[in-house]
Structure 1
Amino acid sequence: MYKFEPQRIRLGISACLLGEKVRFDGGHKRSVYCNNELAPYFEFVPVCPEVGIGLGAPRPSIRQVLDGDILRVQNAKGDIDVTEKLQQYCEQKVATLDFLSGYILCAKSPTCGMERVTVYKAGTNNGSKTGIGVLAATLHQQWPQLPIEEEGRLHDLVLRENFFTRVYAHHDWHTLKLSGLSRHKLTEFHARYKYLLLAHCPKLYRELGPMLADSSKPLAEVAEHYFIKFMEALGHKASRNNHTSALQHIQGYFKKSLNKKQKAELSQAIMDYRNGLKPLLVPLTLINHYLQEFPSPYIAQQVYLNPHPQELKLRYAY
């Protein structure tokens, strides 16, 4: 297996999104966002399952076909069937991708589509958008905590921010594991993510703490269960109310430091955000400013304040 490198964040990606001419028609689906906006911050690992099993470009298009209860992958005529070959390739390829921190897929593809892939009834051109690509399904099965998104869905600012929040958190966790797990490190990790977890899912945040406090179970078991719940919590989209609650908790750490005017300014910024009058960046900018003036080590270490590089401009969704 590939040894994870803490300072390199690698994303799997459908090769056609990088402009590689691997599609059935000999073309590509180059993503401007991935190539122009994301490329400076990530190292892409391109994969095309169809080329991976030896199909050329151009080539006859393949599709998912439901024959009774059996799902096949074949061309429209049904005389080319790559079901077993494709499944074997995907299982073997995905098993080598344990170093990834996320994956960006091409939509609608019978191999890479994350959802709503057309599944045809055998012998007809009648289909329903109920399928999932073979590679996408294998990724979910082998690496269920891996952040996965379709490129088109990343144009939704909320989905985009949530995806990359999970990517950086996933990377952070594996960096921690490489450094050597201990109960103290797990507790510190949880403490750093307190307010980010509260913004995403307060219920699961409250479940995570007691998990770490259970010393009756082996450390590796505790860590595995914690990570599953941790990524599940971040999978919930942060809400305006939960963000407001997290901001107000952080505000409490400044009650002895700020003067009356500063307290009022921060309170108003938080309320304006809650009421949809100002973006999340306004109270966050104030908090980061006050942190410079009135240092608080506990708040300064909170991932919530900077869950991903500002240059990615991901917090404009809130």
Structure 2
Amino acid sequence: MGIKVGISSCLLGENVRFDGGHKHLRLCTESLSRFFDFVPECPEVGIGMGIPRKPIRLVGDVASPQAVAVHDYRLNYTEKLTAFGQQKAHEHSDLCGYIFMKNSPSCGLFRVKVYQENGYPAAEAGRGLYADALKKAHPLMPMEESGRLNDPLLRENFISRVFAYYDWQQLVKSGLSHHKLINFHTRYKYTLMAHSPKDYGELGRMLADAGNHEVEAIAERYFAALMAVLSTIASRKTHTNVLMHIQGYLKKKLSSAEKQELADIIDRYRTAELPLIVPITLLKHHFNNHPDPYIAKQAYLQPYPDALSLRNTI
């Protein structure tokens, strides 16, 4: 069984849009569906709106907009969409991520237009009401929009966060302990360093006296900080730093020629001549021949299945 991830129904090719169509996102059905168990929802259909139907838009205060019919502002769906989002957030508490339809007044996560009395959208962007309800209920859950997933860096970041979120949920289900918390942090050392070396150190200091705190309390603080760090896009500079750290575990095991080849590959990644998958593959090859128990624990070298090919383009 795969990781449960929520998704706007239209992105799976379901004809639930206001015009009776869909917005099929093949990334989901042809790639991610091998590892994710998608839980589709169309909130507009869910609250009883038909297919096809008159379109809706957000109007009024950007911070607290109303969802109304484009042709008749007296038809207001605000309370129903918000309540539906709250209901689904409760029903699907086991989700580890969510993919929303961009620009939607119900599902849009970023840059949704909120129209003003003059007929023009406000300068500030809003958020779809259903998406907003889910975000408020599960603020740490990885969430992304369909359009942004076309960006290789954003796509890799989102999917890696989904797997980390799932990993954490499995830890919680197994029963928290201070020892397990320290082991989790150790396993994510190089992943965290790739996103923010400074924050990795701060998380380590947070856990330094974990034994003096209730495990549930320190775990809650740690997980919130972890997901914030992982939301930061890792750069070539920080990835290179991590690759060089990991390379150090092989310095006494490789020949001079092998060490030089590895150093050259890492440098060519640094200068954007090669994608990340190349130095990662070479490192994994060497550690297969020269196993290291500490490196074998690290999530960094295998944050998600290789078949997703996410590191081939970053």
Q: Same fold by TM (over 0.5)? A: yes
Matched, 1:42 2:39: no
Q: Name the stretch that deviates more: 16-25 or 291-300.
A: 16-25
Deviations 1:211-252 (A, max 9, x none): 122222210010001001111111110111101110111111
Matched, 1:125 2:103: no
Aligned mates of 2:218, 2:64 — CA distance in 1: 38
2:26 maps to which residue?
32
Amino acid at match of 1:95: H
Selected match of 1:248 from 244, 269, 293: 244
Give the structure-2-normalised TM-score.
0.95
Aligned length: 311
Aligned mates of 2:204, 2:62 — CA distance in 1: 47
Aligned mates of 2:119, 2:86 — CA distance in 1: 29
Q: Where does 1:304-315 land on structure 2 (aligned, <5 Å)?
A: 304-315=300-311
Aligned mates of 2:289, 2:158 — CA distance in 1: 32
- Aligned-partner SS, 1:13: strand
Aligned mates of 1:281, 1:108 — CA distance in 2: 33
Q: Where does 1:94-113 land on structure 2 (aligned, <5 Å)?
A: 94-113=89-108
- Please tell me whether the aligned partners of residues 103 and 147 of structure 1 are also in contact (alpha carbons under 8 angstroms): yes
Superposition CA RMSD, Å = 1.5
Q: Where does 1:14-25 land on structure 2 (aligned, <5 Å)?
A: 14-25=8-19
Identity %: 48
Deviations 1:76-135 (A, max 9, x none): 22121111122111112112222111110001100100111111114x532236111112
1:298 maps to which residue?
294
Selected match of 1:169 from 164, 167, 170: 164
Amino acid at match of 1:161: E
Selected match of 2:145 from 129, 144, 150: 150
- Aligned-partner SS, 2:68: strand
| TM superposition shift of 1:68 | 10
Aligned mates of 1:140, 1:121 — CA distance in 2: 24
- Aligned-partner SS, 2:39: strand
Aligned mates of 1:65, 1:167 — CA distance in 2: 32
Deviations 1:172-224 (A, max 9, x none): 00011111111111111111111111001111111111212222221001000
State the 4+ residue runs in structure 1 displaced beyond 4 angstroms.
Answer: 67-70
Structure 2 spans left out of the alignment, 5+ residues:
none
- Please tell me whether the aligned partners of residues 78 and 129 of structure 2 are also in contact (alpha carbons under 8 angstroms): no
